Amino acid sequence: MSLLWPGLLIVLMIIPLAVGAYIILMRRRRRFTIRYSSLAIVSQAASHQSWLRRHLTFLLFLIALTSLAFALSRPHATVTVPSNKATIVLAMDVSRSMCSTDIAPNRLEVAKDAAQAFVQNHKSGRQIGIVAFAGFAELIQPPTTNTQLLIDAIENLTTARRTAIGSAILRSIDTIAEVDDRVAPSDNVSASPGTLELPPSEPEPSPHIIVLLTDGASNSGPYPLTAATQAAARGIRIYTIGYGTASNQSLLNCGDLFRDEFDFQGFGFGAQTGSQDFRLQIDDETLKQVANLTGGTYYYAASADELEGVFQNLPTFLVATRETIEISVFFTAFAAIMILLAIYLSFRWYPLL
């Protein structure tokens, strides 16, 4: 416990002054005590009144004053409470390789089904947001607890060229920052690896998490590990999912939306025209490092059942977080109880009638 206004503890000087005044009053009371004709009566009356009974009400009054003095100094404490504003951001890869048919009917459709099942079965009380990324990342559904909005957003996912894992991480951080002012927005980072700078100290754990699903390697945007350090600095855990079969040589099929000559710039993913090989292998080493750096876990799924199992095993339980709260009200309430108790005992032991 610490005090916001410790200088107001000077009010405690009232306590010794009150004790001194009480002693003076007790001595003056003895001087004006009525003389009884029989000393035996005085002796008998004194024997039935213990020291505690004579002074307890004043002691309760002193305790109340002390408690009020601490209340004025505005004490606050750091406590662990369940977080009811935790957010999960699903960052889903919609690069063209998600059209691979090695997981029938294709990777994207299976990923949609698994994500929608996750949303429907989600019971932790956290709100969920959806970020889609290809050449860059975009928030397609702000965090919400509305299941139907989330399902519709996932259903409308379409593919585009390239894969920007770092951009997905930064956009997910910004999504969390928009709903929690305790989380700082992301900073611009370089697309080259550079020097990986770890957070200077262990950050305050955050109740928010990012679930990043990708079937390839980052080939656009900020360097993933550099972006992950920003999540680590904010205490945000990233759970990465590597998705797809090894040595994939399957055909690409996303229905009518998949056409090499189609201009995907209208979808906002910065597409490039011309044919290219979209079947890049999963960069599981980078995904593992991103997860380890932020305190998350890396999962691998090579089938629909495995992907569904990964979503079911995600740690989405409602975590506890530490918050600093002012506890002056407790000191004030305790002081009120002491005063009421002192008044009750005074009327009980020394009735007016």
In the chain, domain spans: 2-79+326-349, 84-318
Residue 40 pLDDT greater than 80, yes or no: no
Amino acid (one-letter) located at 211? V
Amino acid (one-letter) located at 73? S
- In contact, 323 and 81? CB cutoff 8 Å: yes
Distance of alpha carbon 57 from alpha carbon 67, whole angstroms: 15
pLDDT recorded at residue 101: 92
Neighbours of 304 (CB within 10 A): 16
Which tokens in the block code for residue 288?
Answer: 């593992």
Residue 142 pLDDT greater than 90, yes or no: yes
Residues near 130 by Cβ (< 8 Å), separated by ≥ 6? 89, 90, 92, 139, 140, 141, 150, 153, 154
Per-residue pLDDT reduced to its tens digit, 240-297? 999 999 877 888 887 754 444 333 333 344 433 333 455 568 999 999 999 999 999 9
pLDDT recorded at residue 54: 73
pLDDT recorded at residue 267: 37
CA dihedral 31, 33, 36, 42 (to 10 degrees): -100
Look at the block and give the residue holding tokens 């690409």.
Answer: 252
Name the least confident of 190-204, 210-224, 253-267, 273-287.
Answer: 253-267
Distance of alpha carbon 110 from alpha carbon 98, whole angstroms: 10
Residues near 36 by Cβ (< 8 Å), separated by ≥ 6? 42
Under the banding of pLDDT at 50, 70 and 90, the label for residue 191 is low
- In contact, 335 and 67? CB cutoff 8 Å: yes
Cis peptide before 6 (omega within 30 of 0): no
Distance of alpha carbon 263 from alpha carbon 245, whole angstroms: 28
Q: Where are the alpha helices (DSSP H) in 121-183?
A: 147-155, 165-179
**According to the CATH classification, is domain 84-318 in 3.30.910.20?**
no
Which tokens in the block code for residue 228?
Answer: 């992950």
Neighbours of 121 (CB within 10 A): 11
Report helix, strand or coil for 88: strand
Report helix, strand or coil for 116: helix
Distance of alpha carbon 60 from alpha carbon 40, whole angstroms: 32
Closest among 322, 312, 77, 79 to 207, alpha carbons compared: 322
Under the banding of pLDDT at 50, 70 and 90, the label for residue 205 is confident
Strands 320-326 and 75-82: antiparallel
Alpha carbon of 247 to those of 97, 131, 215, 282: distances in Å? Answer: 13, 27, 12, 10
What's the average model confidence in pLDDT over 231-246? Answer: 94
Q: Could you tell me how far CA 295 lies from the centroid of its own chain?
A: 15
- In contact, 91 and 138? CB cutoff 8 Å: no
Under the banding of pLDDT at 50, 70 and 90, the label for residue 62 is confident
Q: Which residues of 144-165 are buried (b: 16+ CB within 10 A; e: fewer)?
A: beeeeebbebbeebbbbbbbbb
Residues near 269 by Cβ (< 8 Å), separated by ≥ 6? 94, 134, 135, 136, 138, 160, 161, 162
Look at the block and give the residue holding tokens 């350090």.
Answer: 229
